[in-house]
Structure 1
C-alpha cells in the first residue's frame, strides 16, 4: 500500500489500515481524513486528541499515475484524532476521524479589535500566535483592511472576513491551508503543477441561471431615515440583453467611494453559472483551491474527496475562477 498512518509519531499502522479517505472544501478550513482500521486485541488504543499523520506516495507531474520515486510525503500533517468509533464482532474495527490542526481555529471562539491599516496576513499571524499554531511562510496579501470589531465568533469566521474584505477591495483570493511547516495562506489557483484530468469515470456539467446577476446596484451604508432612499454609489450592467435584468442590490460598509463601489459592482456581475463534477483516478495531492485542467478549461477545485488506494479514486467539484470569487468571497 502506498500510504502510511502514524499515531503519536511511533505507531505505524499501515498493516492495520482498511481504508483512507480525505476531504477538502473551500468552505471548510480543516482538511479531514477518515481512516478505517482493523485492530488486534493487543493494540494499545487510539484516543481523541492524539497526534496522527497520513502520508502517501505522490504521483508524478506528468500525470501518468506512476508513483514518483516511491518516497512518501505528508498528505495530512500535523493531524489530530477527533472522533473514534469502534465495533467489536469477531475482530475489532475502528473508524477514526482526523483533522489538521486548523480545526482549533474552526472550533474556538474569541473577540478581537483590529485597527485600520493591517492586512489579512498580519491578522493571520496574530490569530496563530495567540493559539499556538506554528506558521509556514505567509504571503503578503497587500490590501490594507478597515477597522474590525469582532465580537464572539470562531477564529475561522474572522479569518474569512479578513480574506473576503481583501477580495472586495480588489485583492487576490486566498484560503487558509495547513502544511507540515505550519499555517499559511494559499492563493487560489497558484499551484505549480496543474493536473490535467484524464482517465475519467464520470463527468457531469451543470449550467443554470440560478445565481446569475446581470445588474448590480451598490448603495451606501449610512442611515438616511425612513423618508429618503438609499444613496446609490454605483450601478453596473452585464448580459442583460441575453439573460434579462437580474438585479442585486448590495451594501457593504467597507465600500465607501464611487470608484470602489463601481469595481465591487462589476465584480458581482455573472453570466450563467457553470459547475462540473468529475470522478476519476486519484491524484492524491490535489486540494481545494488548486487549479486543474478539465476538457481544455482551467478550473478551480471547490471540493475534493479522495478515496486513497492503489489505484485510488477521487471526486471533484469544479468551478471557474469568477464563480469561485462570487460564491465564496463576494456573495456573503
Structure 2
C-alpha cells in the first residue's frame, strides 16, 4: 500500500494497516479518517488525544505528501473474531472548533477573515493562508455555540451579501480559508464506473416574499419585496425571508434573487480514486462543472471514491440557507 500512517510522530503503522478511508463534507468542518489495523504484539498502544497523520502519493504525482495532517485520534474500538483488529477514528484538528463552545460580541465592520483570525488567536490555533473575504459583516452577538458555527455564520453572511464561498480547512501550515471551486487542478471525471442523477422539486423555491421588521400583536410585518422565479414552469413554491439586516427594497430583492432556485439536481458518482479531492473542489463531469459536496476515499491500489456533486447555484443556495 502506497500510504503511510504515523502515530505520535514516531510509530510507522504501514504494516498494520488493513483499510483506510477519508471522508469530507461541506456540512462538516473536520476531515475524517477511518483506519482499520491488525493487532500484533509490536503494535503501539493507541489512545484518543494522540497525534496521528496519513500520507500518500498524491494522484498524478510521484512523491509522498500529507493527506490528513495534523490529525488527532478521536476514538478507538477493538474487535476479536479470531483475529484482533483495532478501528481508529481520526479527525483533523478543526474538530476542536466543532466541539468547543463560547460566547462573543463582535462589532460591525469586520470581515469573516478578520473574525477567523480572532477565533484562532483565542484558541491558540496557528494560521495559514487566509484570503481577504472583503465583505463587511454586521454586528453579531454569538450566544453559547460552537466556534465552528460562529465561523459558518460569518461565512454564510459573506456569501449572502454577494461574496465568495469559503470554508475553513486545517493544513500543516495552520487553519486556512479555502475558496470553494478554487482548486488549482480541476479534474475531469473520465473513468466513472457508475453515475446516479437525481432531479427533484423538493427544496425548490420559485417565489420569495421578503418581510421587514415584525409588526405588533395586531399587525403583520411589512412586505419589502415579492420576487417571482420559475413559477410558470414549476408552480409557486414560496419562501418567506425575514432578516433584520435587510432594510431596503433593493436589499430585499437582492436577497430574494439569491434564494430562488428551481429544480434541484445532484449527482452521485463512483470512480477510481483521486485521493486529493476535497469537499468544495470543482470537477468536470460530461462537460458540466460541478462542486464536490461530499467525498469518501477508499484508499488503496487501486483506490475507489464516492462523490456527491451539485452545481454552483445549488451549493450557494444551500450554503446561505
* Bucket of the pairwise TM-score, normalised by the shorter protein: over 0.9
Note if 1:58 corresponds to 2:58.
yes
Q: 1:321, 1:35 → 2: CA distance?
A: 32
Q: Please report how far the alpha carbon of residue 229 of structure 1 lies from its aligned counterpart in structure 2 after TM superposition.
A: 2.2
Q: Match of 2:193, SS?
A: strand
The question of 1:259 aligning with 2:250 is answered yes
1:75 equivalent to 2:67? Answer yes
Do the aligned partners of 2:214 and 2:220 also contact (CA within 8 Å) in 1?
no
User: Which residue of structure 2 aligns with residue 64 of structure 1?
Assistant: none
Contact 1:41–1:92, Cα closer than 8 Å, also in 2: no
Comparing 17-26 with 229-238, greater Cα deviation is found at: 229-238
Spell out the pairing of 1:1-332 with structure 2 (5 A cutoff).
1-60=1-60, 68-69=61-62, 71-220=63-212, 222-329=213-320, 331=321
Q: CA deviation at 1:257?
A: 2.1
Question: 3-state DSSP class of the match of 1:129?
Answer: helix
CA–CA distance in structure 1, aligned partners of residues 301 and 2 of structure 2: 7
- Give yes or no for contact 1:218–1:232 (8 Å, CA) kept in 2: yes
Q: Which consecutive aligned stretches of 4+ in structure 1 deviate over 6 angstroms post-superposition?
A: none
Contiguous gaps of at least 5 residues in structure 2: none
Q: CA RMSD in A?
A: 1.1
Tell me the secondary structure at the aligned position of residue 300 of structure 1.
Answer: strand
Query: What is the CA distance between 1:42 and its match in structure 2?
Result: 2.8
- What are the Cα deviations for residues 258-300 of structure 1, in whole angstroms up to 9, with x where unaligned? 2221111001111100000000000000000000001110000
Contact preservation (8 Å) 1:217, 1:232: yes
Q: Structure 2: how far apart are the matches of 1:256 and 1:173?
A: 24
Q: Match of 1:125, SS? A: helix
- 1:42-67 deviation per Cα after TM superposition (whole angstroms, max 9, x unaligned): 3231010000000110112xxxxxxx
Q: Distance in 2 between matches of 1:59 and 1:277?
A: 21
C-alpha distance in structure 1 between counterparts of 2:30 and 2:127, whole Å: 15
2-side partners of 1:312 and 1:148: how far apart?
45
Partner residue of 1:63? none
Q: String of CA shifts for 1:305-330, please: whole Å, max 9, x gaps.
A: 0000001000000001000111122x
For structure 1, the 5+ residue unaligned runs are 61-67
Instruction: For 2:46 and 2:81, locate their aligned partners in 1 and report how far apart those are by CA, in whole Å.
Output: 18
